[in-house]
Structure 1
Amino acid sequence: MQFSGKSIIITGAGKGIGRATAELLAARGAEIIAISRTQSDLDSLRADIGGRSIAADLASAEGARQAMAEAGTCDMLINCAGTNVLESVLDMTEEGYETVMGINLRTALICAQEFARARIAAGGEGAIVNVTSIAGHRGFQDHVCYAASKAGLEGATRVMAKELGPHGIRVVALAPTVTMTELAAEAWSDPAKSAPMMARHPAGRFAEAEDVARAIALLLSDDAAMITGAMLPVDGGFLSV
């Protein structure tokens, strides 16, 4: 129960990595404040783990700020909300760009800003985990906006760590490989695309949402007290070989 007494905001908590993380951290004692767009997902999560839930459209800056205001002052934040629009460089649209960059990058920055403001007003301390992707380190077909958003969030993580460190707030990024969520299933459903990718993983498999959730828990724990401004790959060795 290492998170007993801790309140943790998780964006994108309704599905995938966000939901697996909410379930794991709740099992380890945390009070979860789950933010997601779909009310039915929040209802089923709350039935499973309790805590609080906030339905919000994080695609808008106003929606993100309102959700964070409703969440209030908490101990930790996990920026897990994300989306993708599969477009090539030549086919990129303004709509696709705004959708991906808005949710993956702008929303994460706004949520981190509001979290940090509240923590500093309460005396400081706390931790933020920004969920990025190996797509920010390698070029994948039709992921131009997604890659830009995740690489941008890692750059912002380093700035956050520098600026928020004096207030006792740690900020880290976590970059999963392909993780078997609904979003990934759409992007990697073609065996011609997934097989070569799978072969580049020394672990011999893609990640499960629970793999990523356990790594997030590690980064939020007291065992990671000296880790800030860093990026942890959760990639089965993909980036290393």
Structure 2
Amino acid sequence: MLPVTPSFRLDGRRALVTGAGRGIGLAAAAALAGAGAHVTLVSRSSHEIEAAAAEIRAQGGGAEAIALDVLDVAAVQDAIAAAEPFDILVNNAGTNRPKPFTEVLVEDFDAIMDLNLRAAFFAAQAVARRLIAAERRGSIINMSSQMGHVGGANRTVYCASKAAMEGMTKAMAVDLGAHGIRVNTICPTYIETPLTKPYFEDAAFRASVLSKIKLGRLGQVEDLMGAIVFLAGDGAALMTGSAILVDGGWTAE
């Protein structure tokens, strides 16, 4: 008798996506909803996530929006504690302030680390607590970066935040494995989003980036959607503490 491929459908599961108003977060919400999950979109920009949730519903999916600043850990914890448990978390909210190492300000360091690491840590903790209390399995997807695996010019703090996320993910996987909660990262190369678009207006920077991406093109948010659905569902049932590098070959050499 032939083995049966696990379903990539997510029907009946609840997903929470942070930074869901645009870019990678919006793509994550669309991907999960398209696979059947009910998605809660979180962002500070209520108009963006309300519009996105409405579009998902118009296409037959399930979605709602919650305007939250993930830097407000107490507010995020309260919102997650008050909701039904989320089977899937995409920890996507993040930022960067590229500067040469010698020019980084304390304020730059704090802003990047607070959003990329601290907020992600406590959002995941709140989701995990609810899953454990409900004795439900789950999947936490931390949106990392190729820069969590290599260095990059003018990105010391960003690289530090993503390398820390990689270590945090492995340790979370160790702690949560007994509860059936899987924790993994997705590590994109440069993706064309509203956050990164200004960088690529610099022709020299764009050329430098393209010279390192072996597939010869910048990433699009669609390039990440398959990995998100895969890690969220039963196809990745034995994956935890792992990183999926969607980097066009950047880190291959």
Query: What interval of TM-score do these two structures reach, taking the shorter chain for normalisation?
Result: over 0.9
1:28 aligned partner:
35
2:120 to 97, 102, 108: 108
Task: Give 1:70 deviation, angstroms.
Answer: 4.5
**Aligned Cα root-mean-square deviation (Å):** 1.4
1:237 to 230, 249, 252: 249
SS in structure 1 of the partner of residue 151 of structure 2 = coil
Matched residue count = 241
Matches of residues 113-152 of structure 1 in structure 2 within 5 Å?
113-152=125-164
Structure 2: gaps (5+ residues): 1-7, 58-62
1:91 aligned partner:
103
For residues 233 and 77 of structure 2, the distance between their equivalents in structure 1, rounded to whole angstroms, comes to: 26
Structure 1: gaps (5+ residues): none
Q: Does structure 2 retain, via aligned residues, the 8 Å contact 1:97–1:145? A: yes
For residues 209 and 219 of structure 1, the distance between their equivalents in structure 2, rounded to whole angstroms, comes to: 16
SS in structure 2 of the partner of residue 204 of structure 1 = coil
1:9 aligned partner:
16
1:42 aligned partner:
49
For residues 233 and 50 of structure 2, the distance between their equivalents in structure 1, rounded to whole angstroms, comes to: 27
SS in structure 1 of the partner of residue 102 of structure 2 = coil
Task: Give 1:31 deviation, angstroms.
Answer: 0.3
For residues 203 and 97 of structure 1, the distance between their equivalents in structure 2, rounded to whole angstroms, comes to: 32
Task: Give 1:201 deviation, angstroms.
Answer: 1.5
CA distance 1:10–1:221, shift in 2 (3 Å): same
**Equivalent residue letter for 1:42:** I
Deviates more, 1:8-17 or 1:178-187: 178-187
CA distance 1:129–1:43, shift in 2 (3 Å): same
**Identity percentage of aligned residues:** 38
Task: Give 1:223 deviation, angstroms.
Answer: 1.0
SS in structure 2 of the partner of residue 32 of structure 1 = strand
Give the structure-1-normalised TM-score.
0.95
For residues 197 and 12 of structure 2, the distance between their equivalents in structure 1, rounded to whole angstroms, comes to: 36
Task: Give 1:111 deviation, angstroms.
Answer: 0.6
Q: Does structure 1 retain, via aligned residues, the 8 Å contact 2:18–2:41? A: yes
CA distance 1:67–1:148, shift in 2 (3 Å): farther
Are residue 57 (structure 1) and residue 69 (structure 2) matched?
yes
Q: Does structure 2 retain, via aligned residues, the 8 Å contact 1:78–1:129? A: yes
**Equivalent residue letter for 2:103:** D
**Equivalent residue letter for 1:44:** A
SS in structure 2 of the partner of residue 183 of structure 1 = coil
Deviates more, 1:123-132 or 1:69-78: 69-78
1:19 aligned partner:
26
CA distance 1:235–1:71, shift in 2 (3 Å): farther
Q: Does structure 1 retain, via aligned residues, the 8 Å contact 2:112–2:161? A: yes
Q: Which has the larger radius of gyration?
A: 2
CA deviation map 1:45-94 (0-9, x unaligned): 11101311110111232243234335441111110111111222111111
**Equivalent residue letter for 1:186:** P
For residues 155 and 75 of structure 2, the distance between their equivalents in structure 1, rounded to whole angstroms, comes to: 26
Q: Does structure 1 retain, via aligned residues, the 8 Å contact 2:112–2:157? A: yes
SS in structure 1 of the partner of residue 71 of structure 2 = coil
For residues 169 and 200 of structure 2, the distance between their equivalents in structure 1, rounded to whole angstroms, comes to: 27
